[in-house]
């Protein structure tokens, strides 16, 4: 293979992939540019996942990636990934493989594949297919390998960016959203409410007698209880909602498009789900209950802090009334 240090990459490829702000956008920009560089019909990219290769982006109109299999059942992409060696199939019909015949029927006759190598890691594979046989040269393969190396480095950078972003938004103990993420999502819902009058409600959830749990069973048991509350709550909320641990044994939830009555029903379901089943910890069953305060956003509130303050006030009253209950702040005016 020719020395890759002397290969020039297209500026458009570098600009498109470098400017991508998400992992999916990185993949798609790479797949879009590959066929343009080689005047080919199809480009695709795979990434290693759970011991196999998953197609993450595709540009063009024919079958690709895992559809290209050798006679022993291992895909060409898997072979390139495993051996870390690029390859050219000058005429896919010469492999006498039914899948290759299907590729030819879909307008593809030749193919190049290169491993996505960054340092000591092989992340996946990069592919380009052409309608004509013998469409690619070894110089083309060298160019594809250089592209694959640079794209692999960009993928690893994006992976690190997204890992750090997730850490900044996630509670380390429970993997639920953290207070920062909760407040950010709350501000977005408030802005949408002010613009479009889309209602939302807020829950504040506190574990009852949590100090007694820590004192009676130990702090590890307390952590287990917190994690289980987060897990049960996550099963109750929708993807459009947000449930977060905002500190200690306290959680908060944002229910998108939800008025007070529906929010009260959801909060009651959560309370019952928690109260009905004890938390198991090292062979012991720990009975756990929560108190919940609920408030719906109002048009005259100056910000999310006021909505949260009303929910907090109801949580406090729920504690005073005996705990293990849900109380909601009255809506004094229509939401919209």
CA distance 212 to 198: 41
CA 159 to chain centre: 11
Residue 313's Cβ-side half-sphere holds a number of Cα atoms within 13 Å equal to 10
Q: How far is CA 269 from CA 89, 216, 236, 290, in A?
A: 59, 27, 8, 12
Sign of CA dihedral 222, 227, 230, 232: negative
Instruction: Report the alpha-carbon distance of residue 129 to residue 186 in Å, rounded.
Output: 47
Instruction: In whole angstroms, give the CA distance from residue 86 to residue 67.
Output: 17
Q: Are 144 and 109 in contact (CB under 8 A)?
A: no
Question: Which one is catalytic: 78, 181, 228, 249?
Answer: 249
| Known catalytic membership, residue 228 | no
Distance between CA atoms of residues 252 and 247, nearest Å: 9
Question: In which residue are the tokens 């309370």 written?
Answer: 271
Active-site annotation, residues: 249
């Amino acid at each position: 293979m020719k020395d890759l240090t002397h290969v020039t990459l297209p500026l458009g490829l570098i600009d498109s992939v470098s400017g991508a702000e998400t992992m999916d956008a990185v993949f798609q920009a790479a797949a879009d540019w590959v066929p343009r560089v080689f005047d080919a019909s199809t480009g695709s990219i795979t990434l290693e996942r759970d011991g196999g290769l998953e197609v993450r982006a595709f540009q063009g109109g024919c079958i690709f990636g895992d559809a290209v299999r050798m006679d022993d059942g291992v895909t060409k992409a898997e072979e390139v990934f495993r051996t870390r060696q690029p390859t050219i199939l000058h005429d896919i019909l010469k492999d006498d493989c039914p899948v290759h015949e299907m590729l030819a029927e879909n307008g593809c006759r030749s193919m190049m594949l290169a491993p996505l190598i960054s340092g000591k890691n092989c992340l996946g594979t990069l592919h380009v297919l052409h309608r004509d046989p013998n469409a690619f040269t070894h110089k083309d393969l060298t160019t594809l390998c250089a592209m694959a190396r640079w794209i692999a480095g960009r993928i690893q950078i994006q992976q690190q960016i997204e890992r750090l972003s997730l850490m900044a938004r996630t509670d380390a103990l429970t993997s639920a959203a953290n207070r920062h993420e909760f407040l950010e999502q709350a501000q977005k819902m408030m802005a949408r409410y002010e613009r479009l009058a889309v209602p939302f409600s807020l829950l504040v959830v506190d574990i009852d007698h949590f100090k007694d749990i820590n004192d009676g069973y130990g702090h590890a048991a307390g952590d287990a209880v917190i994690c289980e509350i987060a897990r049960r709550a996550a099963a109750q909320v929708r993807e459009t909602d947000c449930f977060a641990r905002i500190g200690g044994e306290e959680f908060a939830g944002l229910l998108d498009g939800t008025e007070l009555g529906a929010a009260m029903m959801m909060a009651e379901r959560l309370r019952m789900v928690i109260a009905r089943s004890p938390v198991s910890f090292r062979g012991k069953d720990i009975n756990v209950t929560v108190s919940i305060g609920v408030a719906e956003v109002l048009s005259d509130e100056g910000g999310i802090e006021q909505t949260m303050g009303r929910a907090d006030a109801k949580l406090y009253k729920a504690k005073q009334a005996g705990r293990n209950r849900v109380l909601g702040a009255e809506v004094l005016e229509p939401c919209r």
